[in-house]
Every structure is written in C-alpha cells, then in structure tokens.
Chain A
Amino acid sequence: MATGEPLIVLDSVNKWFGPLHVLDDVSLSVGRGEVVVVIGPSGSGKSTLCRTINRLEPINSGTITFDGQALPAEGKALAKLRSEVGMVFQSFNLFAHKTILENVTLGPIKVRKEKPAAARERGLALLDRVGIANQADKYPAQLSGGQQQRAAIARALAMQPKAMLFDEPTSALDPEMVGEVLDVMTSLARDGMTMVVVTHEMGFARHAANRVIFMADGKLVEDAAPTEFFANPRSERAKDFLSKILTH
C-alpha cells in the first residue's frame, strides 16, 4: 500500500504523435509499493503512458517525477534513472545473441560494474525465483514465450529496480502460458514491488492491483480501487468497455 511520498508522479502530461493526441493532460501518482493496473481499449494511450515513465517515449508537455526527481532529458542521468526502473515488454525483447543468463547479468555487469561471478550467482538465483534456472544457458529462441517473458522479468529484477513497468506482458503469449507469467507478477506484487501494469488480464487487476486506471482516447478516465471499479464504473466509456470484455 502507498506510504509516504509517491514514487512516480505524472503532472499534466501531454503527448502527440503528429496530429494524434495520445496523452491528454494525464496526471497520476503511484505510491511506493503500490500496484497500479492500467486498462483501456487499444489506442487509448496506455502503453505510451507506461513508456513515458522511463522516457522511452519523450513527452511534449507536463512533468514526470521519479523518486522525487524530474526525469532527466538524456545522457548519463537518464541511463541511471532507467537502470532504476525495470521494464517488461509485450514482445519480451530478450537479447537474441545472448544466453538467458547473459541477458540477466548484462545490466549488473555493464551498468552497475558488478563482478561477473557475483552477478552470475545473483542471476541464477533470480532465474530460479522465476522458475527457469534450468534454461540459463539456452538462447531466447529456444524458450517458450512464457519462459522468455519470465526471463525478461528476471533481467529487469537483476537491476534491483525501485519500480517495475509492465507493457502488456501477457498479450503475446499463448493462453496456457499466461498463468505462469501472472504468477511471477503476483508474487512480485505481494513482495511489495511498486508496479505499473498495462494489461488486459482483468483477473490480475482484480486480485493483485491496489488501483485500476481506466484510459480512453488519451485521457485518464477513472482511477479507483479494483473492487469499486469493476462493481461500479462511473463513466459510460468504462461501463461500455467492461460490458464488452466481461460478457464472454
């Protein structure tokens, strides 16, 4: 649950892709240890929102603060900030030419300058935690989607991040593999990790989230506790969205 000052604060953030207003005056704060799930129809700007937090997408106006500091625009300061924010992508993006273990130890060794032996030991422990320690020496292409995504989570955790961003982490997975990834995410949430999760997994939103954010057309439409949001959505847009996804 949120305690003390918020870790991530977005204030009146605007972003355009050409004429398209993808983020329309979005303000949001995420407390330490809080799990915020972002849902909404496709094209609503939820992935973009997630990607602005580590500045993979620059914004046009507004401010984003992480751990009390405004996001640096570029250079070393930005790289340092990114190393403190873990990111998990829809398409895993494991380094294709490196083994699973090398994927996990690359950041600690190259960014944090950890000793390879120590990074390796911690990397193996992380792979064990996500249940794929026996795949350490394989290449990403040799793993199933679910295993690759768990490796990607381990890679992000290896940087000992202050927060984790998940950009539709289960959308590219076969249905039977969604569960194994959500299990890892749920255990992370339970351990107190601050998480921003863009997802279509309503089950995860219900049981693991502290708050649900509903976005539509670049606007942040609702911000509520999951029980409240799913039982009583206030806006027509959210009611319409929920009726479409929950009736099947």
Chain B
Amino acid sequence: MDVFTDPENLDAFVSGFVWILKLTGASAVCALVIGVLLAAMRVSPVPVLRVFGAAWVNIFRNTPLTLVVFFCYFGLYATLGLSLSQELDVNIYWLGVIGLSTYTAAFVCEAVRSGINTVPTGQAEAARAIGLSFAQTLRIVVLPQAARSVIAPFGSILIALCKNATIVGTIGLVEASSVMKDLLNSYGNAVILIFLVFAGTFAALLIPTGYFFGWLANRLAVKR
C-alpha cells in the first residue's frame, strides 16, 4: 500500500503535526509572558533583577536547545522527579513546553528589549515626569509603542519555535519529525516523497504565519 494512503500512516502524520502545533502554541504563550517579564527586568532600575534577566538570556540563548530539552527530561524528570502528568505522552509534552519556553523566552526578551530601545527616551521621561511609576511607564507608555516594532521579529521567533518543537521528538514525543523518521524506515522506496510532504506541510503552516506578522507589523507601524 502507498505510504500516504494507509489510514494508519495518515493518523500518525496528523497526530505528529497536532503535537507540533500544541507544543508551539503553549510554548509561544509561556515564552511571550516570560520574555516580556525578563525584558522588564533587564530595563528595571533594580540591579538584582537586571542581573537575573541578563543571566537568563546569556545562559539559554547560548545553549543548544537539544541540551535544554534533554535537561528537562533527564534532569527535571528522571533525576529530580518532576512529573507533570500520569500519561507518558502528556508528561513529555509538558517537559518539552518547559524547555522550549525557557529557551525561546531568551529570544523574546531580546526582541522586546530592542523594541523598547526604539521608543525615544523622552516618552519614558514624560511618563515619569507626570508621576507614573516604573511599572506604569513600561506598561502604559513604553511597551505599547515597543510592541509595534517587535511584531516582525516575533514572527521569526514563532516560526523558529515551531520548527524547534521537533526537538521534543528526541525525548520520546511522537511529533512530526519522529513520525517522518518512522515512515522513512518503513518506506525506503518513497524517501523523497516523504521528505517533500513533511517539509511542504511545515512550509504550508509557516509561510502564511510569516506573511501575517509582516502584515500586522505594517498595520501597526507607529506614526511619529
């Protein structure tokens, strides 16, 4: 039977990409929240927070994601006993989300920080001059203006995150790239076809994502 007409293979294909989408979705939300908090720490007037933010970025931006994800499995789960679900699949999924969001947050932080730097210092000075606190200044005045220049880099980070999600396959989640590897093993005569179908599916998911973020960035471009 042909590789992509076998319903069993088709199910594996679909569930592989569903895992990828779930990993991407949950990690994107966590990474966004953590990344923005880290960026706030890095520009805060409190030295301890600045050091913490800088340390996070330097550690996780400069460590291969494979190592981070391995640590989540072998370190957090196998050694330290952190178990997030009774179900094996779901446990690995959440460990993967921890690894991906920890790692991606470092990149989100730097994108947000460079966005903050595009907002003229006068904006923050004016905000402080009317008595807004540091947090209010950031939340009400600086971040909304930074967001507009951060949208486009966010698109790239999200795309990278989605592709990076395949690394969770290395700790045993049967996501898209693991499914592909299995199919390659069983269907040696259809290697090129299998590659093309998987690559094509990723591209079909991600190319519109890139265009969407580009469109959003243009729409929100700041007027000065």
A interface residues, Cβ below 8 angstroms from B: 54, 56, 74, 76, 79-80, 82-87, 89, 91, 93-97, 106-107, 110-111, 139, 141-142, 152, 155-156, 159
Interface residues in B123-159 by Cβ distance below 8 A to A read 123, 125-133, 136, 140-141, 144-145
Q: A79 touching B222 by the CB < 8 A rule?
A: no
> 30 A-B contacts, Cβ less than 8 Å apart?
A54-B129, A79-B128, A79-B132, A80-B131, A82-B129, A83-B131, A85-B129, A87-B126, A87-B129, A89-B122, A91-B120, A93-B123, A93-B126, A95-B123, A95-B127, A96-B123, A96-B145, A106-B130, A106-B140, A107-B130, A107-B131, A107-B132, A110-B136, A110-B140, A111-B136, A139-B223, A141-B223, A142-B223, A159-B130, A159-B131
Whether a CB of chain A sits under 8 angstroms from the CB of B45 is yes
Q: Which residue of B lies closest to A85 (CB)?
A: B129
Bound CA–CA A56/B130 (angstroms): 11
The prevalent SS among residues of B at the interface is helix
Q: Determine how close the nearest CB of chain B comes to the CB of A142; give it in whole angstroms.
A: 8
Q: Determine how close the nearest CB of chain B comes to the CB of A158; give it in whole angstroms.
A: 8
Bound CA–CA A76/B133 (angstroms): 7
Q: Determine how close the nearest CB of chain B comes to the CB of A135; give it in whole angstroms.
A: 15
B interface residues, Cβ below 8 angstroms from A: 45, 120, 122-123, 125-133, 136, 140-141, 144-145, 222-224
Q: Which residue of A lies closest to B148 (CB)?
A: A97
Q: Which residue of B lies closest to A95 (CB)?
A: B141
Bound CA–CA A84/B130 (angstroms): 8
Q: Which residue of A lies closest to B133 (CB)?
A: A79
| CB-contact partner of B145 in A79, A82, A97, under 8 A | A97
- Please give 14 more A-B residue pairs, beta carbons under 8 A apart, in addition to A107-B131, A111-B132: A84-B131, A87-B129, A93-B123, A93-B125, A93-B126, A94-B126, A95-B126, A95-B127, A96-B223, A107-B132, A111-B130, A152-B126, A156-B130, A159-B130
